[in-house]
Amino acid sequence: MSHTIPSSADAPIGVFDSGVGGLSVLRHIHAQLPHEHLLYFADSAYAPYGAKTDEWLVQRALDVAAFLIRHGAKALVVACNTATVAAIKAVRTAYPALPVVGVEPGLKPGAAATRNGTVGVLATASTLRGEKFLALREQISGATGTRFLLQPCGGLVERIEQGDLSGEATAAMLDGFVTPLLEQGADTLVLGCTHYPFVREAIAKLVAARGDGAAITLIDTGDAVARQLARLLEGAGLLRPGGTPAHLRGYTSGNAAALQTAFAALLGLHPQVESVQV
C-alpha cells in the first residue's frame, strides 16, 4: 500500500491524542516552533484510551493518522503515552517516509533527576503494562540502579477531560495516587500521561502540603517531544520559514465546543474547531 506524504515545508504538523491531554504537548510545539501550521485531533468520542486493547489502539491510531495526512500533515506527533506504547511502530511502518514522534514516559529524565534513586511513575494502566515501557524500565533500572514505582491512575484522565483540574474530587484522587509514592521515598515524579501536566499545580500543592515541596521534582516530557520534532523536521528540510502567520486548527470525534473551551482554558488559544467522523 503506497501513501503520498506531503513534503512541502508549508504543510502542517498533525498532533493527536485521546482527548485534551495532547494539548500539553501542543503547547511546547507551539512555543518552540511558532512558525509551524498545526492540526490537533482530539479523539474524545473514544477517550480514555487507557482501557482499550492494543489491537484497537493500533487500528485507531492508523485511522487518525490517515485523517491527518489527508488534511496535509507533513509530520505526526502521537501526543498520547498509551497510543505511543501500543501503536507508534504500526504508524511508522505504514508511513515510512513520514517524520513520526511519540511521547516517552519520562523514565530517562526521571532517572537523571532523582537524588535518592527512587522515582514514582504516574501513568495509565495500559502504558504501565506495555512491553515497550517495561523493557525501557528494565534497561534504565539496570544501567542506573534507579527504582521505579509504578502507579496506575485510573479515572484521572476522565477528570481532566471534564475540566476538573483542582476540585476536591481530583485532589482526593491525586492524594490516593501520589502519597503512597512519596511514602515509599520517591523524590521524583514522572507525569507519564500527556493529560497529567494539566494537574501539575494540584500535585505540587499536594506535595507542598506534606512538607516535601522543595525536595520533589516533577517530570513533564512535552518539551523533549517538541525538540525531537524540530530535529526531524530540520533533518528532512521541512521546517517552515517565518513570514506569513501560522494557523492552528482543531478536530475532534467528540464535541467541538468542549475542545474549543479546552483550548481557551488550558492554552489561551482560540482556533477553529470542527467535529468530524473518523
pLDDT digits (tens, 9 = 90+) for 7-46: 799 999 999 999 999 999 999 999 999 999 999 999 999 9
Does pLDDT of 257 surpass 80? yes
List, in order, residues 6 or more apart from 89 with CB less than 8 Å away. none
- pLDDT tens profile 45-63: 999 998 899 999 999 999 9
Do 193 and 82 touch, CB atoms closer than 8 A? yes
Q: Report the distance separating Cα 257 and Cα 212, nearest Å.
A: 39
Same fold, 13-103+222-275 and 107-219: yes
CATH domain 107-219 topology: Rossmann fold (3.40.50)
Q: What is the structure's pLDDT at 211? A: 79
- pLDDT tens profile 202-215: 999 999 988 755 68
| CA atoms 17, 19, 20, 21: torsion sign | negative
Cell of 213: 515541596
Neighbours of 74 (CB within 10 A): 23
Q: What is the structure's pLDDT at 104? A: 87
Q: What is the structure's pLDDT at 214? A: 62
The catalytically annotated residue of 39, 61, 80, 207 is 80
Global pTM reads 0.93
Confidence category of residue 6, pLDDT binned at 50, 70, 90: low
The chain-wide mean pLDDT, for the chain, equals 94
Does pLDDT of 266 surpass 50? yes
Is 153 one of the catalytic residues? no
Is 80 one of the catalytic residues? yes
DSSP secondary-structure letter at 49? -
- The H-assigned helical ranges of 103-238 are 107-113, 125-129, 131-144, 156-161, 168-183, 200-209, 222-235
Confidence category of residue 243, pLDDT binned at 50, 70, 90: confident
Q: What is the structure's pLDDT at 126? A: 86
Percent of the chain with pLDDT over 90: 90
Q: Report the distance separating Cα 121 and Cα 113, nearest Å.
A: 13
CATH domain 13-103+222-275 topology: Rossmann fold (3.40.50)
- What is the domain partition of the chain in residue ranges? 13-103+222-275, 107-219
Q: What is the structure's pLDDT at 4? A: 56
Q: What is the structure's pLDDT at 2? A: 41
- pLDDT tens profile 118-152: 999 999 998 998 888 999 999 999 999 999 999 99
Q: How many CA atoms lie within 13 A of 219 on its CB side?
A: 27
Q: Report the distance separating Cα 157 and Cα 152, nearest Å.
A: 11
Opening angle at CA 254, ends 249 and 259, nearest 5? 45
The catalytically annotated residue of 33, 75, 173, 193 is 193
Closest CA to 21 of 161, 130, 152: 161
Does pLDDT of 189 surpass 70? yes
Q: What is the structure's pLDDT at 244? A: 87
Q: What is the structure's pLDDT at 131? A: 86
- pLDDT tens profile 74-125: 999 999 999 999 999 999 999 999 999 999 889 999 999 999 999 999 999 9
